[in-house]
Amino acid sequence: MIVCIADVLSAEQVAEVRELLAKGSYIDGKQTAGWHARLVKENSQLAAGDVATRASTIVHNALMESAVFQAAVRPRHLRGMLFSRYSGGQTYGSHVDDALMRTGSGTMRSDVSMTVFLSDPENYTGGELVIEGPGGEQTYKLDAGSVITYPSTTLHHVAPVTSGTREVAVSWAQSFVRAPEHREILFDLDTARRSLFQREGKSAEFDQLSKSHANLLRMWAET
């Protein structure tokens, strides 16, 4: 399941993060890629340090406060954000994300990958996130402040940025619900019961849907 969520960051938060990024120092993105992804990764990455920590906290908190993000991802662990910058034809060729990732306190499994767009799409050419699947390629270039979440199991790439600069924050989540098809069922049920609640309040049907949603989550969640 691929979910795009608009305005996870407000315009003010995007501006705040971009101001921080302008002050940061950048390293070659190959330093944070696995051994085979390194062969196709051409970008710059914000160096670890105070600026990166502050920017990461803003994006991290905004994601965790989004009800749609919570319902789509069910994050158990959310890795600190990596801030990437692409310009002058830079690209990230086809790759799959590492399955296991080090965190500050141990190792997590990547179930869901995400990209938070920080640049206005009119200000750069190219730079689409392309998710490859058996049915073909799906292309995403979202407004600043929006996030796309997609299964970490996919091959994907970033099209070359032929003019302007593309700034994004990327991260990975280990989900309480490991199987993508289970996450999708829970997401659909949650969306349906919320819309039912909007229409008719806490009805008997809403309660039954809520019960099924909670019991499926209980059945499938890893803690």
- Binding stretches for Ni ion (CB under 5 A): 97
First to last CA, the chain: 22
| Least spacing, CB of residue 92 vs Ni ion, in Å | 7
Taking a C-beta distance cutoff of 8 angstroms, is the pair 64, 70 a contact? Answer: yes
Pick between residue 151 and residue 185 the one whose CB is nearest to Ni ion: 151
| Least spacing, CB of residue 95 vs Ni ion, in Å | 6
Pick between residue 97 and residue 128 the one whose CB is nearest to Ni ion: 97
Pick between residue 159 and residue 185 the one whose CB is nearest to Ni ion: 159
HSE, side-chain direction, 13 A CA sphere, residue 7: 2
Pick between residue 34 and residue 121 the one whose CB is nearest to Ni ion: 34
Phi, psi of 214 (to 5 degrees): -65, -40
Q: Name the residue whose CB lies closest to Ni ion.
A: 97
| Least spacing, CB of residue 15 vs Ni ion, in Å | 26
| Least spacing, CB of residue 198 vs Ni ion, in Å | 36
| Least spacing, CB of residue 33 vs Ni ion, in Å | 9
Pick between residue 63 and residue 185 the one whose CB is nearest to Ni ion: 63
